Structure 1
C-alpha cells in the first residue's frame, strides 16, 4: 500500500492562505505574537481532536482497519476528557460506530487524511488567559500528498475553539514541534529548515519565527534526516519532554535501521543540552520493539512505525501503543508510569496506523484549558 512514509504524489492546490478569510477569523499580527506561548502537552486540556479521514485512495485495503484504530484511540481518550472527531458527512455513521458517543462531539467536514497533529491548529495561550491558534500553512509535508482540505482545517479548528487565529509565514507541522511549556523547544532541522517547506529561509530566520510564535527562549535543534519518511523526520518520533528539564529520546537499537545512527546522534545532542533556564537535561531512552507481532500491517513494510515515543498525554492518562512484544511493551509502559506519575498508562493496538508511518501522537491534537 502507499504509506505515509512513501512519497505520495496526489498533488493539489493549497488554499490555506485564504482559509482565515473564508472562516471570518480574527487575526493576530506578528507584533502581537510574542506575548503568546505554547503550553506543555501535560497541562490541563479542554479537549482532544481526531480526524476520521482515512480513505481508500491512500490507505487501500487498510482503510477499515485504520478507522477501527482511530475509534480505539477516540474511546480511550473520551474516558478522560471530551473529544472532537472531524469526519466526512458520508462517513458520520461509520465514525459514530467506531468512536462511540460518550464524551464525543462530531463535526462534519471534508478531509484528505488522518494526521490531526499536522493539520490542526497549534494552540497557544497568554498570561491573560486568552487562547490563540497558530497556523503553519500545512502543504502536505512539502508537496508529497494531497492536502486541499487538510490545509484548511487549522482555521476551522481555531474558529470552533474561539481562538485568536495567528497565521505564520512559515510552513510546518505540529508533529515537528515539541515544547516544555517553559520556554524550551526541540525541533528537527530536516523538517523545518527544508526547501520543500521554507525555501530561502535561513536557520536563524526559522528559529526566530518559531520562538516568536510559540513563546520560546531556546530551541534545541536535532539534525533529523531528510527524505527517509514523508515528514522529513518529525521530532515527535525522536524526542519528547516529560517535564521541564526531563526529556525522552528514541533510541533505535536495530543496527540495520537508518534511524540507528540518527537516534544515537540525537541522544548525544540531548545529553549535552541545557534548557532555556540553563538546566542540563535529564534524558531517558525509549527503544522501539525488536520483535513486534507479525501481521499484514508490517509484512514486507519497512516503513512500519513501531515507536513507543509517539504517545499522547491527556488529563489523567497517557495513551500509548503496544506492538505485541511483551518485554518491549512492558518496558515502555514502566517508563511512562515513572515519567507521568498520577496518570494511567493505556496501551492500544494501533498497528494499522503504524503501517502508514504514524502513531497516536500523529493522529491527535489538543486544546489547552484556559
Structure 2
C-alpha cells in the first residue's frame, strides 16, 4: 500500500474547494455529498472469482473494463483487484488510462456497496464511513469485501469510522441537501439490522449522511440479492427533483408494482426543506437482449462523472433514445454515454452498482 499523499495528489489531481450550503444557511457537522459534485476519481473493483460468476466471468470482466475505460475519458479511475495476477488481467483489458491496484483486495465487483461513503465538513475536510457490508445479509462470501471500506480510506489516509447500522451505498440515495431515499426491504431487514426498529435505523442513517429527512418506500424483500436497492428505480437529479423509472403498461410483476409504488409515494412526498418533489418519469425498455431473470433493465443505474453521465442501453432504440434525452435534459452540460453491458446487468446490478465516486476535497 502506498501511503504517500503527495503521490496520490500527483496521480489523481488536486482537489479544489466545493460548497453545498443549504438554503437556510445551516449545515450538519459532516455530510455525504450528492453524486453530481466534482470527483477526484471513481473507484471500481475487478471481478476475478469463478466461484461467484462461473462461465459468465469473462464477459463480465469485459463489461467492467468497458465501463472503466469510458469513465477514464472524463476522470481518473482506480480499480481494486485481489492479487497480482488479477492486476495484470485488469490492466490488459482496461488499458493504460486506468489505475489498477492490489492494495485493497476484493471478492467481487460491487464497489458501490463495499466502498466507504465519503463525507466533508464545512471546511472541506473529508472523512470516510464504512457501512458494515455483510454480503447483502449473508447471501455471498465477503471476507475481503467487508474490509474494502477501511482499505480505501487507509489508502487515501482519510479518517475512518463505521456506521451504527448495516447497509450498502446503493441502498441509500442522497440529495446532499438533507433528504435521503431508501427501501425498507433493504435496510429494515433482520439480515442486516436485526433487533433495530425502523426509527432506530433511520436515525443511524441520517446521522452518517448528515441528513434530516428519510423518505421510505416499501421495496421488495427476498427476491434479489440486494433486497431491492433504491438506485435501480429512483434517483435524485438535484434537491427537489427525482427520476423514477416505470415499466411498460403490460408488466404486473413484483418489480413493476414496486416501481409504480415508488412513483406514487415520491410524487406525494416533500423533502427536508419542505419542497414537494418533482418526479420525472423515465420509461423502461419494452424489450431487452437478455432472458436472464436477474437482468436489471435500469436506465437509472447510471454513474455521474465529471462532464458525463454513464448509463446502460438495451437495444430498444425508441426507449434507449428517450432515456438518453431525459438524462441529457436532467443533467445539462454533461455528455450522456450509453453502453451495452448486458452481461453485467444479468448479474443483478449495473453501472452505478459497480462504481463509487470520491468527491474532490
Q: TM-score, normalising length from structure 1?
A: 0.88
Identify the residue that residue 355 of structure 2 maps to in structure 1: 364
Establish whether residue 55 from structure 1 lines up as the match of residue 43 from structure 2. Answer: no
What is the rounded CA distance, in whole Å, between the counterparts of 1:251 and 1:223 in structure 2?
16
- 2:52 and 2:239 map into 1 onto residues whose CA distance is 38
The 3-state SS of whatever aligns with 1:196 is helix
Tell me how far 1:329 sits from its aligned partner.
Answer: 0.7
Instruction: String of CA shifts for 1:316-365, please: whole Å, max 9, x gaps.
Output: 00000011111111011010000000000001111010111110000000
CA offset at residue 257 of structure 1? 2.5
2:47 touches 2:57 (CA, 8 Å); kept in 1? Answer: no
Query: Is 2:233–2:298's contact at 8 Å kept on the other side of the alignment?
Result: no
Structure 2 partner of 1:214: 209
- Corresponding residue of 1:12: none
Q: Name segments (4+ residues, structure 1) moved above 2 Å.
A: none
What residue number does 1:115 align with? 110
Match of 1:201 among 189, 196, 202: 196
Whether contact under 8 Å (1:111, 1:150) holds in the other structure is yes
Specify which of 89, 92, 101 is matched with residue 94 of structure 1: 89
Report the Cα distance in structure 2 between the residues aligned to 1:123 and 1:72, rounded to whole angstroms.
Answer: 25
Tell me the equivalent position of 2:61: 67
SS in structure 2 opposite 1:154? Answer: helix
1:162 to partner: Cα distance = 2.5
Once the 2 structures are TM-superposed, how far is the Cα of residue 60 of structure 1 from its aligned partner?
Answer: 1.0
* TM-aligned CA deviation for residue 93 of structure 1: 1.7
Q: 2:281 aligns with which of 277, 280, 285?
A: 285
**Paired residues for 1:149-168 under 5 Å:** 149-168=144-163
Q: What root-mean-square deviation, in Å, do the aligned CA atoms of Structure 1 and Structure 2 show?
A: 1.1
Distance change in 2, residues 1:117/1:282 (3 Å): same
After TM superposition, the structure 1 = structure 2 runs for residues 23-38 of structure 1, keeping only pairs within 5 Å, are: 35-38=29-32
TM-score by length of 2: 0.90
Q: Which residue in the other structure is 1:5 paired with?
A: none
Task: Please state how far the C-alpha of 1:125 moved relative to its aligned partner.
Answer: 0.8
**How far is the alpha carbon of 1:302 from its aligned partner?**
1.4
Aligned to 1:6: none
Q: For structure 1, which runs of at least 5 residues remain unmatched after alignment?
A: 1-33
2:324 aligned to 333, 356, 363, which one? 333
Q: CA deviation at 1:196?
A: 0.4
How far the C-alpha of 1:287 sits from its partner, in A, is 2.7
Find the counterpart in structure 2 of residue 272 from structure 1. Answer: 268
Gaps of 5+ in 2: 1-27
Count of matched residue pairs: 331
